[in-house]
Amino acid sequence: MTSAQPLHRWLAQRRPSADRFPFDAVVTAYQHYGKHFVPDEWTQALIAARDRLPQLNGTSTTYLSAFLSGALDKIDGTFDYRSYLGLALLPIPDASQGSGAAAQQLANRDRLHAILLTDLIAFELRAAHDQAPLPQLRPIPPVAAKRLRHALRAVMPALRRLSFVEDTTDPSEIAQLRRVTAAVNVDLTAEDRRALQVSMLPVHTMHDEWMFIRVLQAFETTFALLATDLTEIIDAVQASRMPLAATRLSAAASLLRESASLWPLLATIQPEAFHAFRPYTDGASAIQSRHYKMLESLCRTPDGKRLNSAAYLSVPEVRTAVMQGQVSLDDALAAARRSASSDTLLAAAMREFTAAITQWRQTHYRLAVRVLGPERSGTGYTQGTPYLHDARNEPVFRHHPPADPDAGVDG
């Protein structure tokens, strides 16, 4: 069933088209074996396909090139966090490009967030009937049901904003799960379906890796939007539009708090399943998250020690931007010769954002300790929980606004 014949037939064409590349067959094979264990027959054929790229016709050549880079990253020695998650194959916004009105930016994020999580829900529902790939260590029914509840909770705010679903009471949770997946599925374009397909190349065949990948992709989608938000908030401060900056930063804090609903979902991972596929993620670590480091460095410019740590050496393009003078929110406030405390609304928003980031880091650390243990290395054999222990105390802003005596949390 996993013969590479479809790929060989494509290669045998005199003028193969990128538009007719057998993505279905390749992805099926990778999900059958796990990327780390794909037979040489497949990888050699994919290398041959990549060698043909300069000769191809069709509109999908660039996309095919990105897919082949991800599929062959283990062979090429380029496997990392970005290629593991297939981020180049997903429509994740780029903060460096700007992307229009805030409402449209949020809608784009919400749509991708919903697509990723409803794909996870659909996968879990299929697996319950033994109709899904990654068959090893499927969770027992109570764990699967808990996972579905958390996935539904995590996706609903985005679905409501998109008006994909109405707040009605379904006769059963399964009925509600099927309703939300159907609502998103009917809106999917051919490009959406292809992106979902090719961005799921797990390294192993452990059931839980599907959930692990989709949750990390959802986090990256949110971080990308927040980095775009921070860029525009900085622009607002530089234009002396402090109320706008405060409003946007408060909204960013709300979205970050909302995304924390992904943590209980991720916490349903079975430690034995995680430890089974984790050795094969060597080289891919969340420490390489470019979007998170963009977000962090746009709040305040990292000090020399942080900038020269593994955290930023793992994302050289972000580190280079900082070293070339990227302006942070702290920098913009200093240049405007006013502190956050001189603007009540902005001070409150900075406290709110600081609290949201701090809570996110604390939850990440607690979950890592539960799954990995307090002294264990992280995904890809990075510093893991000891690193997270230290990183959770990194200041969000250089100069914290004074505490609001009426607030429940001091940022």
Q: What is the mean pLDDT of the chain?
A: 90
Q: What percent of the chain has pLDDT over 70?
A: 88
Q: Span 102-391: which CATH code? A: 1.20.58.480
How confident is the model at residue 394, as a pLDDT?
83
CA dihedral 63, 66, 71, 77 (to 10 degrees): 170
How confident is the model at residue 46, as a pLDDT?
98
Q: Where are the domains of the chain?
A: 5-78, 102-391
Indicate if the pLDDT at residue 378 is higher than 70. no
164 vs 375 pLDDT, higher one:
164
Q: Report, as an integer, the average pLDDT of 2-13.
A: 92
Q: What is the reported pTM?
A: 0.92
Reported confidence tier of residue 100, pLDDT bands at 50, 70, 90: low
Reported confidence tier of residue 222, pLDDT bands at 50, 70, 90: very high
Q: What percent of the chain has pLDDT over 90?
A: 76
CA–CA gap between residue 13 and residue 397 (Å, rounded): 58
The answer to whether 55 and 224 are in contact (CB under 8 A) is no
Could you tell me the two tokens for 371? Answer: 């799954």
Reported confidence tier of residue 374, pLDDT bands at 50, 70, 90: low
How confident is the model at residue 380, as a pLDDT?
44
Reported confidence tier of residue 96, pLDDT bands at 50, 70, 90: low
pLDDT in tens, 22-44: 999 999 999 999 999 999 999 99
Judged by average pLDDT, the poorest of 79-83, 170-174, 319-323 is: 170-174
Indicate if the pLDDT at residue 240 is higher than 50. yes
Reported confidence tier of residue 409, pLDDT bands at 50, 70, 90: very low
Could you tell me the two tokens for 275? Answer: 């430890």
CA distances from 192 to 98, 179, 187, 198, 295 (A): 22, 19, 9, 10, 26
How confident is the model at residue 389, as a pLDDT?
61
